[in-house]
C-alpha cells in the first residue's frame, strides 16, 4: 500500500513533498518520511505517525535541496516504527528508495544479501530492494546514470511481487528514477520541475500534464527533462495526457469530520449520479443495448463496501432482468478456478479505482474475454483505464476512510444498470423502466429527510454508545445493508459488530445475544416485514434491545416491545437499502464520536488498499 511522491526542480523540495504526502495520506498513515540529496549526500528524515508528525520534525530543518522522494506508509512487513519507515538506505547511505507494494520473494533475497555482508536495519520487504541495487552498483565508477538505469532493470527481473519505486542515488544528484510493476506510478510534468506520485492528487495543484508508466518502465526525471526506458534499456516514446485540473480541494465545510460532511452530501451526490446516468441512460455504461441484450451472466466484483454494493445489485439484476448474477470478493475471485461462461458482463466496483485485489480480478476477467465495466469515483484511476468502459459516480473526493457517499452512488448506478439490463432483454417494458427511474429519482429527497432527522439518530447513539458489541439483521436486499452497517461501525468505533441475514440467526448467531445486546433490525413494511418481526421477537425473548430501522408504514405496525425506532420515508423495498444505510452511517458516526475515535483515519486502515 502506501503513497509515494518525488520532486525535482529549482525550488526547495520539502514543501512539494509534504503537500504531496498529505494528498496521499488516504493510502496509509502509519509513518511518513523523506530523503533529499544535498551536497552529494542523502539526508533522511522520518517519523512514526501521520504526515503532520513528519512536518513537525521538519520544522527545524534548514535545507535548500531541490530533489527528494517521500513516502506515507501503511505497514505490511514490520510494525510502524522509525526503522521500518521509508525511505530505506543501502549500507553506504548513498541510495534511498521509497516503495509501494509487496516484494514476495524478499526472504530469499534477504538471506542471500546478508550472506554477502549487507546489514539490514528494518523488518521490511522493501529494504532488500535498496541492498540489491547497492550490490549492482558496487563496482560502478563511471556513467552513473546509464548504469543506474541498467541496474534498476536488472533488479526488476529479480524482484517478485507488485511495486512502485522512487530511487535517488547521491552519485546522480540531478535525477530521480521511478519504476513500477502492477502498482500505480505516474509522472507530473511541469516547465521547470517534474514529479513522481502514486496518483495525480499529489501534484495536481502544480500541473495537469501526466504520463502513466507501463509495467517495467524505468523513468528518469531531471528538473527539465523526462526519459522513459523499457526493460531492455532502450529509450521509449511516451504520451503526455492533460487531466482535469478541476479537482476541488476537499475541505470539511466547517464540520468536525469529513465523514459527517460526506454523509450529509448524499442527497446531492446521489442526485448528481442519477442525473449523469439519465443524460444518456441507454449508453451510460458504455455498452449498447444490443450487447447488453445478449448478456447471460453478470459478475459483480469489489472489496469492502464496494462488495456490499455488489451484493445488493445481485438482488436487483435477478429481479429486474432475470439474469443469473454473482457477487464476488475481488480477493477471492483471483485465486480460484473460474468456470468459463459465455456472454458474461463483469462489473468492477471501486471508489478509488486503485484497489489491488479489484485490479487483479479485472485483469483476470479481461483474460477470460468478459466484457468489463467499472463503476469508479476517481477519474484516470487504474481500474478506469483497464476496464472496457467506466461509469464515474459523481461524488467528488471521498476523504474519510470509511466509505459513505461512494456507496450510495454505487448503489444508484447499479440500480440503473439493473434496469438497463432488464430493458435490453425485455424483462422490463418501457412503463416499468419509467416507473423505476421515477422511484430512483425520489431517493435523494428521502435521504435528505433522514439527514434532517440526525438528532434522533444521535439520540439512539447516546443511549447505546457504551456497548461493545452490536448486531445488525436484514433480509433480502437489506441483508447486505446489515453487513455494511456492521462494517461501518467496526471501522470507526473498533467495537465488535456483525451483520447477519435475519433468517440465519437461529442457526448460530443467536447464541451471542446477552441481556441488553443492541440488535438493529432493518424492517421496512415489505415482503419480509413479518419475518423480521419474528427474528426481532426471538432476540428480544433472549434479552436483546432491538432498534428498528423502519419506514412510516412499518412504524405503524411495530410491536410495542421495540421502543427505539429510526423511521424513514416509505419507499419500494428494492430501493430501501439506499435509505437504510444512510441512517446506519449516521448511527456509526455518532457512536464513534461519542467514544472519541479518530473518525476520518481509523487505526490500522487505509482508504485505498493498493497491495493484495
Ligand atoms: C478499503 C477502504 C474501504 C473500501 C475498500 C474498497 O478497505 O477502507 O472503505 O470499501 O477499500 O475500496 P475501493 O476504493 O475499491 O472502493
* Run means of pLDDT, 10 residues per run, the chain, 612 residues: 93 95 89 95 94 92 92 88 93 96 93 96 94 95 95 96 95 97 93 93 92 95 97 95 68 85 96 94 85 92 98 98 97 88 93 94 94 92 93 92 97 97 95 97 97 97 97 98 98 97 93 94 97 96 96 96 96 98 98 96 85 74
Dihedral angle sign, alpha carbons of residues 579, 580, 583, 585: negative
Q: Return the CATH number of the domain spanning residue range 452-612.
A: 3.40.50.10490
**Residue given cell 455504461 in the structure block:** 285
What pLDDT score was predicted for residue 248? 47
Cβ contacts of 485 within 8 Å, gap of 6 or more: 472, 497, 499, 520, 522, 580, 581, 584, 585, 587, 588
- Is residue 582 within 8 A of residue 555, CB to CB? The reply is no
Q: Which of 375, 382, 552, 602 is nearest to 450 (CA)?
A: 552
Which stretches does DSSP call E strand in 182-319?
186-189, 194-197, 209-212, 218-222, 225-229, 235-236, 241-242, 297-302
In this structure, the residue with its CA closest to atom 2 of ligand 1 is 607
Closest approach atom of ligand 1 to CA 605: 8
Q: What is the pTM of this model?
A: 0.85
CA distance 178 to 266: 39
Q: Return the CATH number of the domain spanning residue range 250-441.
A: 3.40.50.10490
- Is residue 406 within 8 A of residue 394, CB to CB? The reply is no
Strand pairing category for 186-189 and 194-197:
antiparallel
- Asked, colleague to colleague, whether 3-245 and 452-612 share their fold, the answer is no
What pLDDT score was predicted for residue 96? 98
> What are the residue boundaries of the structural domains of the chain, listed by start?
3-245, 250-441, 452-612
CA distance 123 to 85: 10
Q: Which of 34, 188, 175, 162 is nearest to 100 (CA)?
A: 162
Would residue 252 show up in a list of annotated catalytic residues for this protein?
no
Pocket test of ligand 1: the residue of 347, 403, 414, 610 to mutate, having most ligand atoms within 8 Å of its CB, is 403
Cβ contacts of 53 within 8 Å, gap of 6 or more: 32, 47
Closest approach atom of ligand 1 to CA 355: 15
Dihedral angle sign, alpha carbons of residues 551, 554, 555, 556: positive
Question: Catalytic pick from 2, 193, 376, 395?
Answer: 2
Q: Kindly state the DSSP code that residue 570 receives in the 8-state scheme.
A: -
Would residue 2 show up in a list of annotated catalytic residues for this protein?
yes
Per DSSP, the three-state class of 313 is helix
CA distance 421 to 426: 8
All three cell numbers of 17, joined, read 513533498
Pocket test of ligand 1: the residue of 305, 378, 395, 405 to mutate, having most ligand atoms within 8 Å of its CB, is 305
Cβ contacts of 466 within 8 Å, gap of 6 or more: none
- Provide Rg for the chain, Cα atoms: 26
Cβ contacts of 120 within 8 Å, gap of 6 or more: 110, 113, 114, 127, 131
Q: Which of 567, 530, 527, 531 is nearest to 547 (CA)?
A: 567
Per DSSP, the three-state class of 315 is helix
Q: Is the CB of residue 410 below 6 angstroms from any atom belonging to ligand 1?
A: no
CA distance 228 to 167: 15
Q: Return the CATH number of the domain spanning residue range 3-245.
A: 3.60.20.10
Closest approach atom of ligand 1 to CA 406: 16
CA distance 399 to 378: 12
Q: Is the CB of residue 308 below 6 angstroms from any atom belonging to ligand 1?
A: no
Q: Is the CB of residue 585 below 6 angstroms from any atom belonging to ligand 1?
A: no
Q: How far is CA 73 from CA 92, 121, 132, 152, in A?
A: 24, 17, 21, 22
CA distance 399 to 422: 34
Pocket test of ligand 1: the residue of 382, 605, 609, 611 to mutate, having most ligand atoms within 8 Å of its CB, is 609
Q: Is the CB of residue 303 below 6 angstroms from any atom belonging to ligand 1?
A: yes
All three cell numbers of 270, joined, read 446521489
- Whether the ω angle into residue 528 lies within 30 degrees of 0, i.e. cis, is no
Which stretches does DSSP call E strand in 330-481?
344-350, 371-376, 389-392, 469-474
Amino acid at each position: 500500500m502506501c503513497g509515494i511522491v518525488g520532486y525535482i526542480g529549482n525550488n526547495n523540495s520539502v514543501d512539494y513533498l509534504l503537500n504531496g504526502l498529505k494528498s496521499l495520506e488516504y493510502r496509509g498513515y502509519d509513518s511518513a518520511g523523506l530523503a533529499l540529496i544535498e551536497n552529494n549526500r542523502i539526508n533522511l528524515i522520518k517519523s512514526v505517525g501521520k504526515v503532520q508528525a513528519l512536518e513537525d520534525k521538519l520544522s527545524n530543518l534548514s535545507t535548500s535541496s531541490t530533489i527528494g522522494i517521500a513516502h506515507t506508509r501503511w505497514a505490511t512487513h514490520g510494525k510502524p516504527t522509525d526503522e521500518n519507515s521509508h525511505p530505506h538506505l543501502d549500507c553506504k547511505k548513498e541510495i534511498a528508495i521509497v516503495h509501494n507494494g509487496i516484494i514476495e520473494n524478499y526472504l530469499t533475497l534477504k538471506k542471500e544479501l546478508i550472506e554477502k555482508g549487507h546489514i539490514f536495519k528494518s523488518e521490511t520487504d522493501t529494504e532488500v530492494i535498496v541492498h540489491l541495487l547497492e550490490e549492482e552498483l558496487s563496482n560502478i565508477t563511471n556513467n552513473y546514470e546509464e548504469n543506474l538505469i541498467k541496474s534498476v532493470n536488472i533488479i526488476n527481473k529479480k524482484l517478485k511481487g507488485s511495486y512502485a519505486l522512487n530511487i535517488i542515488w547521491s552519485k546522480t544528484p540531478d535525477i530521480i528514477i521511478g519504476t513500477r510493476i502492477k502498482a500505480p506510478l505516474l509522472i507530473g510534468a511541469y516547465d521547470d520541475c517534474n514529479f513522481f506520485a502514486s496518483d495525480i492528487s499529489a501534484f495536481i495543484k502544480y500541473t495537469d500534464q501526466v504520463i502513466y508508466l507501463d509495467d517495467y518502465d524505468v523513468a528518469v526525471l531531471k528538473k527539465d527533462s523526462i526519459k522513459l526506458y523499457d526493460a531492455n534499456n532502450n529509450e521509449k516514446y511516451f504520451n503526455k495526457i492533460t487531466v482535469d485540473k478541476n479537482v476541488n480541494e476537499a475541505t470539511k465545510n466547517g464540520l468536525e469530520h469529513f465523514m459527517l460532511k460526506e454523509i450529509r452530501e448524499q442527497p446531492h451526490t446521489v442526485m448528481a449520479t442519477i442525473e449523469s446516468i439519465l443524460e444518456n441512460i441507454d449508453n451510460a455504461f458504455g455498452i449498447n443495448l444490443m450487447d447488453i441484450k445478449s448478456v447471460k451472466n453478470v459478475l459483480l466484483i469489489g472489496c469492502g463496501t464496494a462488495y456490499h454494493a455488489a451484493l445488493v445489485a445481485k438482488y436487483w439484476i435477478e429481479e429486474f432482468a432475470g439474469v443469473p448474477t454473482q457477487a464476488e470478493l475481488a480477493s477471492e475471485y483471483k485465486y480460484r478456478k473460474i468456470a468459463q461462461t459465455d456472454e458474461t458482463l463483469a462489473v468492477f466496483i471501486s471508489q478509488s479505482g486503485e484497489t489491488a485485489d479489484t485490479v487483479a480480478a479485472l485483469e483476470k476477467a479481461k483474460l477470460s474475454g468478459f466484457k468489463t465495466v467499472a463503476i469508479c469515483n476517481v477519474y484516470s484511476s487504474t481500474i478506469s483505464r483497464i476496464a472496457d468502459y467506466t461509469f464515474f459516480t459523481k461524488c467528488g473526493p471521498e476523504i474519510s476512510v470509511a466509505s459513505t457517499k461512494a456507496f450510495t452512488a454505487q448503489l444508484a448506478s447499479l440500480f440503473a444498470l439493473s434496469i438497463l439490463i432488464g430493458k435490453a432483454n425485455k424483462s422490463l417494458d418501457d412503463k416499468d423502466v419509467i416507473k423505476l427511474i421515477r422511484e430512483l429519482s425520489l431517493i435523494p429527497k428521502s435521504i435528505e429527510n433522514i439527514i434532517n432527522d440526525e438528532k434522533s439518530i444521535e439520540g439512539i447513539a447516546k443511549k447505546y454508545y457504551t456497548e461493545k458489541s452490536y448486531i445488525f439483521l436484514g433480509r433480502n436486499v437489506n441483508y447486505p445493508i446489515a453487513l455494511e452497517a456492521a462494517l461501518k461501525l467496526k471501522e470507526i468505533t473498533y467495537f465488535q459488530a456483525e451483520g447477519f441475514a435475519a433468517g440465519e440467526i437461529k442457526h448460530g448467531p443467536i447464541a451471542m445475544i446477552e441481556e441488553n445486546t443492541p440488535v438493529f433490525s432493518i424492517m421496512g413494511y415489505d415482503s419480509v416485514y413479518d419475518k423480521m418481526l419474528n427474528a426481532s421477537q426471538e432476540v428480544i425473548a433472549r434479552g436483546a434491545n432491538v432498534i428498528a430501522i423502519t419506514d412510516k408504514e412499518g412504524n405503524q405496525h411495530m410491536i410495542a416491545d421495540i421502543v427505539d425506532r429510526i423511521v424513514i420515508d416509505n419507499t419500494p423495498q428494492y430501493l430501501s437499502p439506499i435509505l437504510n444505510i444512510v441512517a446506519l452511517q449516521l448511527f456509526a458516526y455518532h457512536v464513534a464520536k461519542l467514544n472519541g475515535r479518530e473518525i476520518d483515519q481509523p487505526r490500522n486502515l487505509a482508504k485505498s488498499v493498493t497491495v493484495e
